[in-house]
Amino acid sequence: MLACSLACSLACWGCGAAPGPGVELLHRADDAAARLEDLLLTPYRARHPGLQVVQHNVALSQAEYRRLLLTATADDALPDVFQLDDVDVPALVDRGEALDLAPYLSRVGVDLARYNPEVLAVFRRGAALYALPRGYTPVMVAYNRDLLDRAAVAYPPDDWTWDDFLRTAQQLTRDRDGDGRVDQWGVAFDRRPAFWLSWIWAGGGDVLCADGRRASGCLDAPATIAALRWYRDLVTRWGVAPPPHDQGTAGVEIARLFAAGRVAFMTVGHDAVRELRAAVAAGRLRVGFAPIPHRAGVPPATVLWAWGYAVPARALRRR
């Protein structure tokens, strides 16, 4: 994916002046992810020894990264290739800041059949394609197998409803030390939009309407309001979830509670894999995964979040 994006960037250079000696790449990642990216670049660099690829990684939140991109577009300072998150596609594409890569794909031998069509659709607008997928994550429910085994609770099936989920979460919410306070919860309440939105869609609600340009009539629709209330009630009514953490630290704190056996279920994407894998490898945790449960009568659906590599539209005029 990365090599294809770099090749598209170089193909764009061919439409203008001769390229310089290097390509700059920007992506949102911590140091560990940046090291992995460097490993992925190794074979590409070996095939193109005369081309310097310089990667810049920024460990920013998604909102901070968006501000960085928008500031860079205003200054014509976007690098040659940059990470484009799914939620930023409208902001960059509607402003004309991302290049349509479709005309260059055959030139560099990119076969779109290699990509998941659902993920490609995130970056499409009609026949145009504004990024090549770098990765994606389904949103799932992770469960602590040890807690379920200890309570003689069956593992969740592939098709389960909110009623099934709530009943199980109530069975797993306990006062383990007998001091009158709950110290094991059925589920973690996650305030981060990427995670609670999955529950809204599983309840038949939505944020934007089909045209993608308005929320009125969808975000305030009865199904959406009912789903939001149900999700809130996990804390306020049924008491199966601890008080929510700050959005900035929620991912780390929830993962710690889960790994420590204090929470039976949590909503996860790829960001939790590193913590979970370490706990599993150390023998501290046995984990399983299940789809997000859905409201009875609403078809189940798996939410995908994706990110890709894009090329600035102004690249045609730079080189």
Whether residue 200 contacts residue 206, with contact meaning beta carbons closer than 8 Å, is answered with: yes
The single residue listed with the structure tokens 């090549």 is: 132
Architecture of domain 140-302: 3-Layer(aba) Sandwich (3.40)
Question: Which of 99, 116, 134 lies closest to 28, judged by CA?
Answer: 134
**What is the pLDDT, as a whole number, of residue 19?**
47
d(CA 227, CA 223): 6
**Distance, CA of 319 to CA of 307 (rounded, Å):** 26
Distance, CA of 101 to CA of 98 (rounded, Å): 9
The tokens of 30 are what? 């911590």
- For 212-262, strand residue ranges (E) read none
Q: Domain ranges for the chain, please list them.
A: 2-136+306-318, 140-302
Helix and strand counts by DSSP (H, E) for the chain = 13, 11
pTM of the model: 0.82
DSSP at 174: B
pLDDT at 238: 96
Shared fold status for 2-136+306-318 and 140-302? yes
* pLDDT per residue as tens, the chain (319 positions): 545 544 444 344 334 333 456 889 998 988 888 888 888 889 988 988 888 888 899 988 888 999 999 999 988 899 999 999 999 998 899 899 999 999 999 998 899 999 999 999 999 999 999 999 999 999 999 999 999 999 999 999 999 999 999 999 999 999 999 999 999 999 999 988 889 999 999 999 999 888 878 899 999 999 999 999 999 999 999 999 998 866 666 777 888 899 899 999 999 998 788 788 888 999 989 999 999 999 999 999 889 999 999 999 987 665 5
Q: How far apart are CA 267 and CA 277, in angstroms?
A: 16
- Class level of CATH domain 2-136+306-318: alpha beta
